[in-house]
């Protein structure tokens, strides 16, 4: 860990001001990921700007019937909020599938969107990593890549995004509210994270002098037919090998809308509008869901150790959609997969 | 009188531990305490070409950066570095000794500063250039062909290879156990307190204060009185603290260099550079007649060791204690790689070797179409075949029977994939566990004061196993005092002798030291009481007198009781102190072992491969259980660890870099609460009058042995898939 400046932002404008012109500056809220990375010398910010006291901690109803979630709402506060539990249970479930109670108490919504990959090479400064140091090489492509990307990877980086919350937000078509020197803007959550391409060191489309102020949930919460299923190497407190967020709107047994986002398989939550469209009007059956899974995974590419994730993802997609269709969502408290 | 021994007595140190009153090595304060932070090598093999500490030294608050070229003297001969549990063969690692790099993560510098944060920051400024001189190797699979045989745990009997080839039913396979790390909750730490007289008080995380004391005296050329080592509480060690670890040498170096008190605490990541359970390839061959009796057993273990020391344990010899066979051959091979020397880790050798043996027995049972318990009973050995000795006691049959009954084994459908619960396949598996019942020389001192309070002291460590509590229980019963009146002092090198706390030997060894000292106290009290005017104990046979309820009395005759206080007052003694070395009869005509039968239920999601261990029954025969509460906890801990060994634990190395890539407990998986469901511990009655006075055998290791095999066998029963490369993860099931 290196020495750094520390300042506390008075308001959002002040935070932006403190960021501007300081490329080495980082915002800190809960710090659950940033401080870990600083201890490992992966992140070496010259300045930390504490935003934890900014007034971004409320969950408010929007004019169109959605919710606006302040960027500093703790992950646990979001998961246990009555409105979230009733209207967006998928989001509550995904959050509770991640980390531990202690971490969820500290971690913020905005910070969750900014968390970085768990690729072991990214974490170890003694090994090359393009995400840590541009053009230094990717150690994972020909190395230990059992839990690396099967979709959307590049020859520069095959890391995955570790967030559970983002996967649910992607399925819910959430929006990210951003403030910067030139004002405010919104971005679809699905556009927020980037694919690695040739610049895997840049995780998101947030500019260096911008701050996330809120996440907006559109009115439709799919509270009747949803499920979040996370498959990992132990039954709790591990990052996903594959996770699936699925929501359905059904008319009888016919699908009028389906949205599925995958976690643990790519540099960002993975969706396919085309595959989802093809499910519309179909009956909610294993056969149709299997076809959907094949379509969603069409571009999947195996590396030396992660080939199993393709078949695992296929099966997990079918299971999750069946859970959603039968209104028996995966419990995050039971020691069992339904 | 047994008011405490054999009962579920709560930990006497429990309150201190949960309130934080119990202090650990990295928590002791000293005036002007300095903090050291380790700089670790990032290559596995080579030399330090250049070590530039100038930038680090410029940081305000940094006092010094110690390196191999800038440090106080260290002993130059290997013998000086050989602690009491060092491997016989090899040259022990010496931190900051010279420019050679022997393993990735090796300490190469220590930054010493006024506070820990400054030291940690300055450590990032130390610049290192390496000279990589030769190709390195860290992969056991790739190095297997270069293995050299180092020992045979037992002499071969008959012609095992020939008999195996001719056997009617044969099973022959490799089982692979990965490198594992202990990951005790407490980080390795040492606080060296300097005083102006030059004496050093060392608080160290260790399983043996006298081992560390002797080691430090020889490494630093000090007299015994110059150094005192204490380790009053240890937050888990599991074998990782048997040998003195390098942080204690570094803290000593800094204290001597700067003539100040110094604390060095390793990070979790740095602890992966310490010892580990070596990766092994366990090759087991079993040949049987069609009736299920064994004709041949072969077991060859190929294990990793470092380039500089040969660490080898008994992985392969355990069938000799368990299964009757006229022909047997056991061997242990080593592959020397560019890693740190492995070390003991809970049930060293047995955890790995018996895992393979018990999986192989399960495979043989399938081949013979025999129930796994029936096969084991057909091969049951009442004698240790290696020496052809009977056991002091062996209630393994009863373990099978009691465990099977509690588990409901009779309802098992023998066919794999035959049992189901919704989307999950259900599997039932079992395995045998075995460990040694060892006892070592330990001395205890008891100081009894006239008010009926006793202080019991011994240099033994309590690494969380409950030594404080059992020592208090045994002393309370032997002295006839309430346990609240017993104060136990442990883990101070100036206290009566004890070896390292390991091998499951400390319960029996310390208990009998306490018994011996208490008996001397009893005799002294009888002498005092008999000498009182018109004493009811005058002329009584010493053997008939016990200490009970704060009195000295003829057994069964409380009318004869004389209070301890009266007897001591009359003798004008405020305090009686007795010290005794335990004594065990050297009877080599019996084998001494503990045993267990482990039963596991798994549920495996057929589509997704997700594995849950829903039930484990562990039936243990280990002589008398001194404390059924801490004993049960210890077995449960072993079962949880066995779940980890079966499903989770694996130190993953990138052999291109010779570097561990999951050196943290986020990615090095151990079971979490969700992975642990019902665990039923059964202590099978095992009276043993031969082994020692109390009939105690020890419980430290037996809890884990057999558990991974029982789970792997259950997974086979559930799925029909035999995974022989541990841990069993879902990708292996889906493959």
Chain A residue numbers touching B647 (CB-CB < 8 A): 234
Asked whether residue B1 carries a pLDDT value surpassing 80, the answer given is no
**pLDDT digit string, tens, across residues B182-228:** 999 999 999 999 998 989 999 999 999 999 999 999 999 999 999 99
The pLDDT assigned to B198 comes to 85
> What is the per-residue DSSP string for B151-188?
E-SS--BS-HHHHHHH-SEEEEEEEEE--B----SSPP
Chain B residue numbers touching A146 (CB-CB < 8 A): 731
Q: Which long-range contacts (CB under 8 A, 24 or more apart) does B76-79 make?
A: B79/B218
Residue B654 touches chain A, beta carbons under 8 Å: yes
User: Is residue B145 domain-resident?
Assistant: no
* Cα dist from A7 to A26, A121, B370, B415, B603, whole Å: 10, 31, 72, 67, 52
User: Is residue B491 domain-resident?
Assistant: yes
Residues B734, A235: C-beta atoms closer than 8 Å = no
Residues A144, B652: C-beta atoms closer than 8 Å = yes
State the catalytic residue, choosing from B300, B363, B686, B701: B701
CA distance B229 to B215: 11
* Cα dist from B143 to B148, B344, B655, whole Å: 11, 22, 12
Are B212 and B305 found together in one domain? no
Residue B735 touches chain A, beta carbons under 8 Å: yes
Q: Which of B35, B603, B731 to mutate to test the interface with A (most CBs of A within 10 A)?
A: B731
Give the CATH number of the domain where residue A39 resides: 3.30.43.10
User: Is residue A257 domain-resident?
Assistant: yes
Residues A1, B121: C-beta atoms closer than 8 Å = yes
Are B730 and B646 found together in one domain? yes
Are B405 and B468 found together in one domain? no
Q: Which one of B652, B666, B675 has the shortest CB-CB distance to A235?
A: B675
Q: Which of A33, A146, A237, A286 to mutate to test the interface with B (most CBs of B within 10 A)?
A: A237
Residues A233, B42: C-beta atoms closer than 8 Å = no
**pLDDT digit string, tens, across residues A232-289:** 999 999 999 999 999 999 999 999 999 999 999 999 999 999 999 999 999 999 999 9
Residue B268 touches chain A, beta carbons under 8 Å: no
Residues A337, B608: C-beta atoms closer than 8 Å = yes
The pLDDT assigned to B125 comes to 97
**pLDDT digit string, tens, across residues A273-328:** 999 999 999 999 999 999 999 999 999 999 999 999 999 999 999 999 999 999 99
Which distant-in-sequence residues (6+ apart) come within 8 Å of A18 by Cβ? A7, A9, A25, A47, A49
User: Is residue A337 domain-resident?
Assistant: no
CA distance A243 to chain B (A): 12
Are B212 and B296 found together in one domain? no
Give the CATH number of the domain where residue B45 resides: 3.90.1170.50
Are B632 and B564 found together in one domain? no
Are B518 and B533 found together in one domain? yes
Total number of domains constituting chain B: 3
**pLDDT digit string, tens, across residues B86-106:** 999 999 999 999 999 999 999
Q: Which of A304, A335, A338 to mutate to test the interface with B (most CBs of B within 10 A)?
A: A335
The pLDDT assigned to A34 comes to 98
Query: Which residue is closest to B128 within chain A, CA to CA?
Result: A126
The length of chain B, given as a count of residues:
735
Query: Which residue is closest to B673 within chain A, CA to CA?
Result: A236
Residues A120, B662: C-beta atoms closer than 8 Å = yes
SS3 per residue for A212-265? EEEEEECCCCCCCCEEEEEECCCCCCCCCCEEEEEEEEEECCEEEEEEEEEECC
Which distant-in-sequence residues (6+ apart) come within 8 Å of A101 by Cβ? A76
User: Is residue A308 domain-resident?
Assistant: yes
Q: In this structure, is the dihedral angle defined by the CA atoms of residues B681, B685, B688 and B692, taken in order, positive or negative?
A: positive
Numbered residues of chain A with Cβ closer than 8 Å to any chain B Cβ: 1-3, 40-41, 118, 120-121, 123-124, 126-127, 139, 142-144, 146, 231, 233-239, 241, 308, 311-312, 315-316, 318-319, 335-337
User: Is residue A234 domain-resident?
Assistant: yes
* pLDDT average, residue stretch B601-616: 98
Last residue of a domain, one of B581, B600, B635: B581
Are B46 and B87 found together in one domain? yes
Range of the domain at A286: 226-325
* pLDDT average, residue stretch B648-673: 97
Residues A2, B121: C-beta atoms closer than 8 Å = yes
Omega before residue B645 within 30° of 0, cis: no
Q: Which one of A118, A238, A308 has the shortest CB-CB distance to B734?
A: A308
Residues A127, B607: C-beta atoms closer than 8 Å = no
Residues A127, B657: C-beta atoms closer than 8 Å = yes
C-beta of residue A271 within 8 angstroms of C-beta of residue A258: no
Residue B615 touches chain A, beta carbons under 8 Å: no
Q: Where does the pLDDT of residue B586 fall: very low under 50, low under 70, confident under 90, or very high at 90 and above?
A: confident
CA distance B477 to B1: 6
CA distance A16 to chain B (A): 28
Query: Which residue is closest to A2 within chain B, CA to CA?
Result: B121
Residues A235, B674: C-beta atoms closer than 8 Å = yes
CA distance B234 to B232: 7
Asked whether residue B151 carries a pLDDT value surpassing 90, the answer given is no
User: Is residue A252 domain-resident?
Assistant: yes
Q: Which one of B654, B672, B673 has the shortest CB-CB distance to A143?
A: B654
User: Is residue A118 domain-resident?
Assistant: no
> What is the per-residue DSSP string for B235-299?
S--TTTTSSPPHHHHHHHHHHHHHTS-EEEE--HHHHTTS--BPPEEEEEEEEE-TTS-EEEEEE
* Structure tokens belonging to residue B213: 């004391």
**Strand A254-263's sheet: what is its strand order?**
A226-231, A242-251, A254-263
Asked whether residue B402 carries a pLDDT value surpassing 70, the answer given is yes
CA distance B714 to chain A (A): 17
Residue A154's nearest CA partner among A205, A200, A202, A203 is: A200
Query: Which residue is closest to A229 within chain B, CA to CA?
Result: B608
User: Is residue A296 domain-resident?
Assistant: yes
Are B425 and B452 found together in one domain? no
Residues A312, B659: C-beta atoms closer than 8 Å = no
CA distance B169 to A311: 37
Q: Which one of A120, A233, A337 has the shortest CB-CB distance to B669?
A: A233
Give the CATH number of the domain where residue A318 resides: 3.30.390.50
Residue B509's nearest CA partner among B455, B570, B548, B460 is: B460
* Structure tokens belonging to residue B212: 């560390």
Range of the domain at B38: 22-134+185-237+241-271
Chain B residue numbers touching A239 (CB-CB < 8 A): 666
CA distance B624 to B515: 15
Respond yes or no: is residue B701 known to be catalytic.
Answer: yes
Total number of domains constituting chain A: 2
Residue B241's nearest CA partner among B313, B310, B344, B342 is: B344
CA distance A128 to chain B (A): 10
Are B413 and B351 found together in one domain? yes
Asked whether residue A175 carries a pLDDT value surpassing 90, the answer given is yes
User: Is residue B142 domain-resident?
Assistant: no
* pLDDT average, residue stretch B44-64: 98
Residue B655 touches chain A, beta carbons under 8 Å: no
What is residue A112's three-state secondary structure?
helix
Give the CATH number of the domain where residue B461 resides: 3.30.365.10
CA distance A61 to A67: 4
Chain A residue numbers touching B121 (CB-CB < 8 A): 1-3
Are B634 and B689 found together in one domain? yes
DSSP state of A53: T
The pLDDT assigned to B155 comes to 94
Residue B501's nearest CA partner among B470, B471, B464 is: B464
**pLDDT digit string, tens, across residues B502-555:** 999 999 999 999 999 999 999 999 999 999 999 999 999 999 999 999 999 999
Query: Which residue is closest to A238 within chain B, CA to CA?
Result: B666
Q: Which one of B607, B667, B731 has the shortest CB-CB distance to A120?
A: B667
Residue B426's nearest CA partner among B656, B253, B265, B604 is: B604
Chain A residue numbers touching B609 (CB-CB < 8 A): 312
The length of chain A, given as a count of residues:
338
Residues B608, A233: C-beta atoms closer than 8 Å = no
CA distance A16 to A21: 10
Give the distance from CA A297 to its chain's centroid: 19
Residue B357's nearest CA partner among B272, B423, B298 is: B298
C-beta of residue B623 within 8 angstroms of C-beta of residue B697: yes
Are B459 and B507 found together in one domain? yes
Query: Which residue is closest to A1 within chain B, CA to CA?
Result: B121
Question: Residue B355: phi, psi to the nearest 5?
Answer: -55, -50
Are B597 and B573 found together in one domain? no
């Amino acid at each position: 860990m290196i020495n750094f400046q520390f300042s506390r932002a008075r308001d959002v404008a002040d935070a932006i001001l403190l960021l501007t012109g300081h490329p080495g500056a980082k915002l800190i809220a809960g710090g659950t990921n940033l401080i870990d990375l600083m201890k490992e010398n992966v992140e070496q910010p010259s300045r930390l700007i504490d935003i934890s006291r900014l007034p971004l901690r409320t969950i408010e109803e929007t004019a169109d019937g959605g919710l606006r979630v302040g960027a500093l709402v703790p992950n646990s506060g979001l998961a246990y909020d009555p409105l979230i539990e009733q209207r967006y249970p998928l989001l509550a479930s995904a959050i509770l599938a991640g980390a531990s109670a202690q971490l969820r108490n500290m971690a913020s919504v905005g910070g969750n969107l900014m968390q970085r990959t768990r690729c072991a090479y990214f974490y170890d400064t003694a090994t090359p990593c393009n995400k840590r140091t541009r053009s230094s090489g990717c150690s994972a492509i020909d190395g230990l890549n059992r839990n690396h990307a099967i979709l959307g990877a590049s020859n520069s980086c095959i890391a995955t995004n570790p967030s559970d919350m983002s996967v649910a937000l992607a399925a819910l078509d959430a929006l990210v509210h951003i403030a910067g020197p030139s004002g405010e803007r919104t971005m679809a959550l699905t556009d927020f994270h980037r694919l690695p391409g040739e610049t895997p060191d840049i995780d998101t489309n947030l500019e260096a002098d911008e701050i996330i102020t809120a996440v907006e949930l559109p009115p439709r919460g799919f509270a009747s037919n949803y499920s979040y299923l996370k498959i990992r190497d132990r039954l709790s407190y591990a990052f996903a090998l594959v996770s699936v967020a699925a929501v359905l709107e059904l008319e009888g047994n016919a699908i009028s809308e389906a949205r599925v986002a995958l976690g643990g398989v790519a540099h960002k939550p993975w969706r396919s509008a085309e595959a989802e469209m093809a499910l519309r009007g179909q009956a909610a059956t294993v056969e149709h869901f299997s076809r959907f899974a094949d379509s969603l995974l069409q571009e999947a590419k195996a590396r030396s150790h992660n080939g199993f994730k393709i078949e695992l993802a296929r099966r997990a997609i079918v299971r999750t959609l069946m859970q959603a269709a039968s209104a028996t969502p995966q419990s995050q408290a039971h020691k069992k997969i339904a | 009188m047994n008011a405490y021994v054999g009962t579920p007595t709560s930990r006497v140190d429990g309150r201190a531990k949960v309130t934080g009153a119990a202090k650990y090595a990295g928590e002791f304060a000293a005036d002007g305490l300095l903090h050291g932070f380790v700089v670790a090598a990032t290559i596995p093999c080579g030399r330090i070409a250049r070590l530039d500490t100038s930038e680090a030294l410029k940081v305000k608050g940094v006092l010094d950066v110690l390196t191999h070229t800038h440090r106080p003297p260290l002993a130059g001969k290997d013998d000086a570095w050989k602690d009491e549990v060092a491997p016989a063969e090899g040259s022990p690692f010496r931190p900051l000794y010279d420019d050679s790099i022997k393993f990735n993560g090796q300490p190469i510098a220590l930054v010493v500063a006024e506070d820990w944060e400054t030291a940690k920051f300055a450590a990032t400024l130390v610049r290192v250039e390496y000279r990589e001189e030769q190709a390195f190797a860290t992969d056991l699979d790739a190095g297997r062909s270069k293995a050299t045989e180092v020992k045979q745990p037992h002499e071969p009997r008959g012609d095992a290879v020939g008999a195996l080839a001719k056997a009617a039913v044969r099973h022959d396979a490799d089982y692979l156990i990965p490198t594992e790390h202990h990951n005790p909750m407490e980080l390795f730490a040492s606080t060296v307190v300097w005083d102006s007289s030059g004496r050093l008080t060392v608080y160290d995380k260790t399983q043996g204060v006298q081992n560390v004391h002797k080691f430090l005296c020889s490494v630093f050329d000090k007299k015994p009185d110059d150094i005192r080592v204490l380790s009053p509480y240890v937050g888990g060690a599991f074998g990782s603290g048997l040998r003195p670890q390098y942080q204690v040498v570094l803290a000593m170096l800094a204290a001597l260099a700067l003539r100040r008190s110094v604390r060095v605490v390793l990070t979790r990541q740095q602890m992966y550079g310490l010892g580990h359970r070596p990766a092994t390839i366990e090759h087991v061959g079993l040949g049987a007649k069609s009736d299920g009796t064994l004709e041949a057993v072969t077991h060859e273990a190929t294990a990793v060791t470092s380039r500089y020391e040969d660490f080898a344990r008994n992985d392969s010899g355990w069938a000799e204690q368990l299964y009757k066979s006229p022909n047997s051959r056991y061997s242990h091979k080593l592959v020397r790689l560019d890693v740190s020397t492995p070390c003991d880790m809970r049930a060293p050798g047995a955890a790995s070797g018996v895992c393979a043996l018990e999986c192989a027995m399960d495979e043989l049972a399938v081949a013979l179409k025999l129930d796994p318990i029936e096969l084991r009973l057909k091969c049951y050995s009442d004698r240790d075949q290696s020496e052809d000795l009977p056991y002091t006691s062996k209630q393994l049959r009863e373990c099978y029977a009691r465990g099977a009954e509690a588990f409901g084994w009779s309802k098992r459908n023998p066919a794999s994939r035959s049992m189901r619960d919704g989307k999950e396949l259900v599997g039932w598996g079992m395995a045998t566990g075995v460990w040694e019942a060892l006892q070592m020389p330990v001395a205890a001192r008891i100081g009894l004061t006239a008010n009926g309070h006793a202080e019991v002291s011994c240099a033994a460590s309590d690494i969380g196993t409950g030594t404080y509590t059992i020592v208090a229980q045994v002393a309370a019963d032997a002295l006839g005092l309430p346990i609240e009146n017993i104060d136990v002092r442990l883990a101070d090198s100036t206290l009566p002798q004890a070896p390292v706390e390991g091998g499951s030997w400390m319960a029996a060894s310390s208990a009998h030291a306490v018994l011996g000292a208490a008996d001397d106290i009893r005799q002294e009290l009888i002498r005092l009481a008999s000498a009182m005017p018109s004493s009811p104990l005058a002329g009584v046979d010493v053997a008939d007198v016990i200490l009970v309820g704060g009195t000295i009395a003829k057994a069964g005759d409380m009318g004869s009781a004389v209070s301890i206080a009266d007897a001591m007052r009359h003798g004008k003694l405020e305090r009686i102190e007795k010290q005794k070395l335990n004594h065990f009869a050297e009877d080599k005509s019996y084998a001494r072992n503990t045993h267990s039968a482990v039963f596991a239920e798994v549920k495996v999601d057929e589509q997704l491969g997700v594995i849950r261990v829903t039930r484990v029954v562990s039936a243990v025969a280990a002589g008398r259980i001194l404390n059924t509460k801490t004993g049960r906890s210890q077995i449960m801990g072993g079962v949880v660890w066995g779940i980890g060994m079966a499903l989770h634990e694996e130190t993953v190395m990138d052999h291109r870099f010779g570097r561990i890539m999951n050196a943290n407990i986020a990615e090095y998986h151990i079971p979490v609460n969700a992975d642990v469901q019902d665990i039923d511990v059964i202590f099978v009655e095992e009276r043993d009058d031969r082994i020692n006075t109390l009939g105690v055998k020890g419980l430290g290791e037996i809890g884990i042995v057999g558990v991974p095999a029982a789970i792997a066998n259950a997974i086979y029963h559930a799925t029909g898939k035999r995974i022989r490369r541990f841990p069993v993860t879902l990708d292996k099931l889906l493959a």
